[in-house]
């Protein structure tokens, strides 16, 4: 369906350009300007054209996680991949984005969003916080090397008590 829509869009653009009577060179410059194509097909670009938001990618990775993990969970003191993604999440997301993510379908994303808001000293939407305190969705987390089971409500309350 997307391919058909893009084909239809390209036909409409082509007809519009032909009706304007511009040259092929101007059409090429127009396509480069709207980021439809790279500036030169023969010169590799340093950065590919972004097709998605970095925050969306991070949220997807966090939602695929199986459990909430702290920085270190094993004896070898290596940083867990989930925590590395969480650190990037803390720096990339804005206050509004983090507040909106408190209503995400993944309980892990909710918990990491809450922790990012608290650790960045950002304003927390009270309605969303109350919904977290009533959320009984099960979530796994690591306490040391042991996998434990809890709820979103208990994890948020634990974070609140650890700050006092």
Write down the pLDDT at residue 48.
45
For 56-102, write each residue's pLDDT tens digit: 888 888 888 888 877 655 556 666 778 888 888 898 888 999 999 99
Write down the pLDDT at residue 47.
45
* Mean pLDDT across the chain: 76
- The predicted model gives 15-25 an average pLDDT of 65
Contact 139, 128 (CB under 8 A): no
110 vs 49 pLDDT, higher one: 110
The domains of the chain are located at 1-50, 54-163
Measured CA to CA, the distance from residue 48 to residue 40 in angstroms comes to 13
Rounded to two decimals, what is the model's pTM? 0.64
| H/E stretch holding 86 | helix 81-92
Write down the pLDDT at residue 148.
83
């Amino acid at each position: 369906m997307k391919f058909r829509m893009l084909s239809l869009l390209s036909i409409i653009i082509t007809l519009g350009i032909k009706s304007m009577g511009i040259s092929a060179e101007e059409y090429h410059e127009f396509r480069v300007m709207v980021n439809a194509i790279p500036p030169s097909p023969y010169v590799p670009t340093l950065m590919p054209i972004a097709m998605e938001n970095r925050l969306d990618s991070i949220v997807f990775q966090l939602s695929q996680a199986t459990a909430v993990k702290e920085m270190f969970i094993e004896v070898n003191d290596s940083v867990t991949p989930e925590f590395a993604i969480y650190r990037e999440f803390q720096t990339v997301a804005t206050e509004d984005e983090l507040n909106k993510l408190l209503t995400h379908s993944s309980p892990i994303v909710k918990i990491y969003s809450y922790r990012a808001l608290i650790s960045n000293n950002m304003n927390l939407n009270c309605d969303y916080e109350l919904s977290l305190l009533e959320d009984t969705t099960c979530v796994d987390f690591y306490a040391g090397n042991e996998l434990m089971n809890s709820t979103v409500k208990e994890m948020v309350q634990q974070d609140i008590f650890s700050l006092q």
